[in-house]
């Protein structure tokens, strides 16, 4: 995004606290990467909101035998909800960008979400709840790249997360003690 001329701010939602939790580790990693590339990093404390809107409903749904998908709710409520509102109202941003593997195109009917170049990492199914207004203010810089290409760019840039293990689990459920 910097190479394309965007003014970039790093913004991370602090969603949960605990040793080894991906949200804590991810926030620290985001701050490190921002420092490496000369970008200001801001963290927004959303722990109470996240528990109320994502964790508690997940537990309630699971306890009655449903199969909840908290990541979709988190996308619409947290990432493209609270964080986007904060970015626009408090930081003066005009767009948000995420690391989701997806693409956008404008059609005569509005914005359409398209599958990413990397079919193995495609995340369009996680974005079904996003509105046209939200999509018009979103950038998906990884949509035309594969995961291997992203890793190569990160390694060439010497980023601390270049070899970071992938997480595909629910972020607030861990089999690690801590």
166 or 19, greater pLDDT? 166
How many CA atoms lie within 13 Å of 39's alpha carbon, on the beta-carbon side? 19
Whole-model pTM?
Answer: 0.86
Half-sphere exposure of 49 (CA within 13 A, CB side): 14
| Cα 138 → chain centroid | 12
Name the band, by pLDDT with cuts 50, 70 and 90, for residue 166.
confident
Count of beta carbons in the 10 Å neighbourhood of residue 77? 20
The pLDDT of residue 177 is above 80: no
Torsion angles phi and psi, residue 110, rounded to 5? 120, -160
* Active site amino acids: 74, 171
C-alpha distance from residue 52 to each of 20, 37, 73, 87, 153 (Å): 22, 34, 12, 21, 37
d(CA 139, CA 103): 8
Per-residue pLDDT tens digits for 27-69: 889 999 999 999 999 999 999 999 999 999 999 998 999 988 8
Q: What is the structure's pLDDT at 19?
A: 54
């Amino acid at each position: 995004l910097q190479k394309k001329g965007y003014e970039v701010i790093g913004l991370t939602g602090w969603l949960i606290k605990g040793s080894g939790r991906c949200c804590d580790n991810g926030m620290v990693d985001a701050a490190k990467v921002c420092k490496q590339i000369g970008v200001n990093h801001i963290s927004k404390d959303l722990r109470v909101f996240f528990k109320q809107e994502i964790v508690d409903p997940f537990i309630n749904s699971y306890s009655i035998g449903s199969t909840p998908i908290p990541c979709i709710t988190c996308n619409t409520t947290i990432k493209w909800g609270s964080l986007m509102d904060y970015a626009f109202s408090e930081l003066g941003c005009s767009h948000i960008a995420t690391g989701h593997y997806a693409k956008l195109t404008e059609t005569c009917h509005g914005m359409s979400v398209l599958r990413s170049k990397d079919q193995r990492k495609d995340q369009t199914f996680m974005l079904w709840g996003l509105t046209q207004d939200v999509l018009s203010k979103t950038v998906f810089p990884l949509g035309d790249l594969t995961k291997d290409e992203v890793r190569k760019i990160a390694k060439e840039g010497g980023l601390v997360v270049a070899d970071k293990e992938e997480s595909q689990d629910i972020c607030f459920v861990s089999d690690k003690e801590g």
